[in-house]
Amino acid sequence: MIRTRSLTKDFVVSRSSTVHAVRGISLEIDAGELVAVLGPNGAGKTTTMRMLTTLIAPTSGTATVAGHDVVAEPAQVRRQIGYVGQGNGAGHTQRVRDELYSQGVIYGLDRRAARQRAGELIEALELTELTGRKVADLSGGQRRRLDVAMGLVHAPPLLVLDEPSTGLDPQNRANLWQHILRMRAEYEMTIVLTTHYLDEADSMAERVVVVDHGEVIADDTPEVLKAKLAGDRIVVTAADTEGARRLARLSEHLPEARDIVLDGARVEARVSDGPGSLPELMREAQDAGVRVTTAQVHRPTLDDVFLNLTGRSLRETEGNGENTDGENSDGANTDTQEAAA
Amino acid sequence: MSTLTETAPISTTAGTHDSQPARRSLLRDTGIVMFRELRPVLRDPFSLIFGMIQPLVFLGLFGPWLVGSLGDQAGDAFGGSVWQWFVPAILVMTALFGTSTTGANLLFEFQTGAHERMMVTPLSRPSLLIGRSLKEMVPLAGQAVIIVAVMIPFGFQLYPVGALAGLVMLAVFGVGLGSLSYALAIAVRKQEWMFWAVQQTLIFPLMILSGMLLPLETGPAWMQAVAKFNPLAYVVDAERALFNGELASSTVAWGWLAALATAAIGLAVGIRAMLRSAD
């Protein structure tokens, strides 16, 4: 569905400075995948999406979307994709139904089909009470649902969502996701989204592409990423420091044990399989006559993955979850910055 | 929120995946863009009514004053009825303000993200400009009808074919000016106040040096000389000729040339700007 080869994008800011927003992204996404592109602000997520959706031309490299080259055949690409950008696709002065109808006609439906399609999507995305409202009068969550509806008007094989849930409260986020997942099941769509919500990427995506400084630094299922790049952490305390020392030695034999830290009576270790390793450690401790007082397993988050990869925490760069700091990942692209704000 | 199972299944009226793409035509796309832009106007009849009346107010206030201030010269300058001279000018003025400010709408759609969404659709790029500019012409046609209807009792003489040709010429000119307005909006989208600064700075000299409100003949010679380089001056002259029933004359020909040149340059500049607007 998507294939990019060494895709790059430079923004010339002034004569003496160029921002390398994307530095060679090669990516293959098959039909039917649900992929989250995760990274801090300025990582190049949005710039990449904008290249894939024909909004901006790559500086170098190639990208094929739905079988068409984004530079050579942008018109064909546009027909095959639905796009929900960071801003509101629906014009603020427009009425909900009008805008859905226009979108249908734009994608080649005749008047009757466009009207019918608008009605279907209004019902599917629970916009029924809002059809006569002006877009400007909708709440953030309602507007986002309308944006998604507009992206789906032509039942595209590929839906690109750029930070779909940023700025929404948890309830609205969950609601939006319900709709997106249902639409995906209905249409067998491929979905690519960018997000900087760690939990969102973790729980919703089947594959996470971690991007930092314009490059892909990891690409796998959330489970594998966490297991490979972060691993579980087990924390046990012994009744005394001598016991803890023995526990630390025992934990060295656990599968892929590393980063063992002994702190008084407390022992911490990273292992590949926490829930499996901890009982084993307990058995060995019992055999060795060590009395264990507490035992915990900490499952890793994608933030641990990012921390391990970059030495930085994603949370620090996240901007308190508010979407006013210009999510636009590129630093150089003030349009989207404004759109997001 | 109702549970998901309650909502109706989606049939795919939009089964456009593999079906051969609908042929895109500039005409169809322009129509789509124009009607999309018109819908909020039509849904809000009050703003429409006020918009319709505005030129009439201007005409009623400025017209008599014009005659009074010119005194004896009035007859010579107008070559007859003041309304015959002034009505076409008011229509040009309405078109001038309507299309030259239209870029502000685009600025707004830049901010909200609606423009970006339109750019991702398969709409042909010129249609995004032409459709928006032509949208300004629809209320103008309505205004023309109202003005003419109101002015006929005051001695305004209607030449329907000429008037129609005049409106078409205005539409051509308006597409050019509207496109330039969009190009300006795109160029200054990172400092929006610039849009109004530039628009206001240009519009008034352009208007005054066109002989729209006062006959250029009563102005100093240098003004008349400068006006020779103002395409709008040719359009204004041609509109007066057309509304006087003069369909084919050199004045009208110059007007067409000025309108077409403005449209060609405006579209060339506007489309270039539009293609780069996502950067």
Which pLDDT score, from 0 to 100, does residue A320 have?
A: 41
Per DSSP, chain A holds a count of helices (H) and strands (E) of: 12, 14
- Closest CA in chain B for residue A101: B36
pLDDT digits 0-9 by tens, B212-238: 888 888 788 898 888 889 999 999 999
pLDDT digits 0-9 by tens, B152-205: 888 888 899 999 999 999 999 999 999 999 999 999 888 888 999 999 999 999
For residue B18, name the pLDDT band (cuts at 50, 70, 90).
very low
Residue A298 three-state SS: strand
Please name the residues between 163 and 202 in chain B that touch chain A, using a CB distance below 8 Å.
189-190
Q: Is residue B8 assigned to a domain?
A: no
Which pLDDT score, from 0 to 100, does residue B192 have?
A: 82
Of the candidates B132, B177, B141, B111, the one whose C-alpha atom is nearest the C-alpha of residue B40 is: B132
Architecture of domain A231-299: 2-Layer Sandwich (3.30)
Best residue in A12, A59, A86, A92 to probe B by mutation, most B CBs within 10 Å? Answer: A92
Inspect the interface and report whether the beta carbons of A186 and B9 lie closer than 8 Å: yes
Which pLDDT score, from 0 to 100, does residue B57 have?
A: 86
Measure the CA–CA gap between A204 and A209, rounded to whole angstroms: 13
Decide if A217 contacts A309 (C-beta within 8 A). Answer: yes
Q: How far is B162 from chain A (nearest CA, A)?
A: 35
- Which residues of chain A are under the pLDDT cut of 70? 315-341
Inspect the interface and report whether the beta carbons of A123 and B8 lie closer than 8 Å: yes
Q: What is the mean pLDDT of residues B69-80?
A: 61
Nearest 5°: phi and psi at A81? -120, 150
Decide if A327 contacts A46 (C-beta within 8 A). Answer: yes
Query: Measured between CB atoms, does A155 come within 8 Å of chain B?
Result: yes
Inspect the interface and report whether the beta carbons of B32 and A102 lie closer than 8 Å: yes
Indicate left, alpha or beta for B131 from its phi (over 0: left) and psi (-120 to 50: alpha).
alpha
Q: Which residue has the tokens 């988050």?
A: A301
ipTM of the complex: 0.78
pLDDT digits 0-9 by tens, B79-107: 567 788 888 998 999 899 888 988 888 88
Q: How far is A46 from chain B (nearest CA, A)?
A: 12
Q: Which whole-number Å values give the CA distances from B277 to A163, A211, B107, B119, B274, in the listed order?
A: 21, 26, 11, 9, 5
Residue A38 three-state SS: strand
Residue B246 three-state SS: coil
Domain count, chain B: 1
Which pLDDT score, from 0 to 100, does residue B78 have?
A: 61
Which pLDDT score, from 0 to 100, does residue B183 have?
A: 92
Residue B68 three-state SS: helix
- Rounded (10°) CA dihedral A329, A21, A30, A118: 40
pLDDT digits 0-9 by tens, A106-135: 999 999 999 999 999 998 888 999 999 999
What range does the domain containing B179 cover?
24-275
Inspect the interface and report whether the beta carbons of A107 and B121 lie closer than 8 Å: yes
Measure the CA–CA gap between A285 and A277, rounded to whole angstroms: 12
Which pLDDT score, from 0 to 100, does residue A322 have?
A: 37
Q: How far is A207 from chain B (nearest CA, A)?
A: 24
Q: Is residue B101 assigned to a domain?
A: yes
- Across the interface, which of B1, B16, B113 has its CB nearest the CB of A87? B113
Token duo for residue B230: 């103002």
pLDDT digits 0-9 by tens, B144-166: 888 888 888 888 888 999 999 99
Count the alpha carbons within 13 Å of A152 in the hemisphere toward its beta carbon: 32
Query: Measured between CB atoms, does A104 come within 8 Å of chain B?
Result: yes
Decide if A27 contacts A49 (C-beta within 8 A). Answer: no
Which pLDDT score, from 0 to 100, does residue A83 have?
A: 94
Q: Is residue B13 assigned to a domain?
A: no
User: Mean pLDDT in chain B?
Assistant: 84
Pick among 3.40.1180.10, 3.40.50.2000, 3.40.50.300, 3.40.50.11030: CATH of A2-225+316-340: 3.40.50.300
Q: How far is B163 from chain A (nearest CA, A)?
A: 32
- Across the interface, which of A53, A116, A186 has its CB nearest the CB of B120? A53
Please indicate whether the domains covering A2-225+316-340 and A231-299 agree at the CATH topology level: no
Q: Where are the domains of chain A?
A: 2-225+316-340, 231-299
Inspect the interface and report whether the beta carbons of A87 and B114 lie closer than 8 Å: yes
Which pLDDT score, from 0 to 100, does residue B7 have?
A: 41
CB neighbours (10 Å) of residue B27? 11
Decide if A167 contacts A105 (C-beta within 8 A). Answer: no
Asked whether residue B279 carries a pLDDT value surpassing 80, the answer given is no
Which pLDDT score, from 0 to 100, does residue A114 have?
A: 93
Asked whether residue B258 carries a pLDDT value surpassing 60, the answer given is yes
Of the candidates B279, B239, B235, B238, the one whose C-alpha atom is nearest the C-alpha of residue B261 is: B235
